[in-house]
Structure 1
């Protein structure tokens, strides 16, 4: 079984094993590869050609390239401190649990899991362990979203509108993202997960219930291409969230109104977002945002492991997103307003 040091010596790079060598595995994996305090020590993927190519790029010797995840974790010659989970969504839960069971730190791409009960379980698990469990919601690292969070820390907004567009259906053609057995759903569970997290994390609002409508890409109505959510929050605030995965341009807009006016977060593609502040007299100004100070996802994870501090995006952040997403799918299919249930009646949801 993999050897593990819960807090690797600061002079020794954190040894990372990557499972899934697609976009996340190579993008965030590349950040680890270039980080002075981390080293990609092992890689795992079913595609042997990709395994060879990425293994060579990251300097991983053939002896620690694997086609089976459990083999990577249990190989006595493969000593790891942490795992990057970059596989299809429905595989995340089992792979995260397997790593935590071996006392490994985990960076998991979003969503943490596609199942609400499993999301609750992972929150309880994260609360009990000393291991870092970080979720890939990179907006927590962007200065624009951090500024918004600071504004709403003591006085959440009363009205929120948010939208995101992407040519997601075309981009996902021929991939696992259009297979609900692997993706868990459609555009809402994929790119939409980032938008929901951005709204919930920056505003601090707790979703209470949701009504929703969706258009589906598949006959079984499991893969949505368009979704519209009408959300009520616990403090009486309301919000609308619109997502369209069949449009030619990637654009994101989050508009939050409070008693002082409004704060707008705007952006295109996947770069950093801009902030616009609107006062009650309708005057607008653009605060200075220094994007150069933003940490990478790998850098934030390494810092959390080294310092034993809470990661920027936690399992509880992921639970809020999963609860709202789960309720939205049910609302769209039933036509009813559905409560978002972050906690269950089971005592097992708490450590």
Structure 2
């Protein structure tokens, strides 16, 4: 038995040596090698709209500073299946980190689980998939922060009363639905003389948002205001008010990118855009991806950059928070170039 035992021992030793080499080369399970750039893939809800273009610019800026690689691949429409297919392709390409803004958190959860099982880090950004195996959510602002800012802006124009409606984008978008819930709850508590009378969904399509807003105006002739719940709906509802010549009689606010909203802010068809620094959100997304890939723990407060010196992290919800929402008006719109 001495011969076979010696052979077995040598085989085990050799196998352990191979494993040690592999672990050393990979930097540890799920950790990028110290001498290799982190490969980050960003998957927005949809490709080619100004909002996600601004996130792309911020992500590229951070990647250049960090020495990482950043690519963006988004679906042509707000289609959960198309988005899931893109994530599957990225898994096959062995990206270090996938950062995704889920169109449908439930539909994307199995794909996220597959990525994690293969040792790929996954974070959500812009909108969450809380029930999934994502490791971190990079949140632009709290739901209450966005919801109350929008309602307060609208009520400032309507005198704290009247009927208003909401034109949103995807019906399954977790962030948009959280904002809507916050708006309805806050309205009921803070403005008892106001009420939400309609909520419709246009996908990420500005033209569809305009058409739906006009239909809402017909259904509710006494409507005092409209909320455009996303960056494609915000200009859509303002365009509807402009087209129907209701500027000064029906007020709109929304979540819109500054330069897209500028003409509507200037002519009064939109009263305010509530947003955040979208390029900073892209920057923070890339920075967080780098921390995951390098195995660096997030602190309660994080010095990300000169512009983001105190970014908070909540360990209980695994959420990085960019900060408070911005209120964009005709007076400050030109401070933002996207």
Q: Which has the higher strand share?
A: 1
Q: Which has the higher helix share?
A: 2
TM-score by length of 1: 0.39
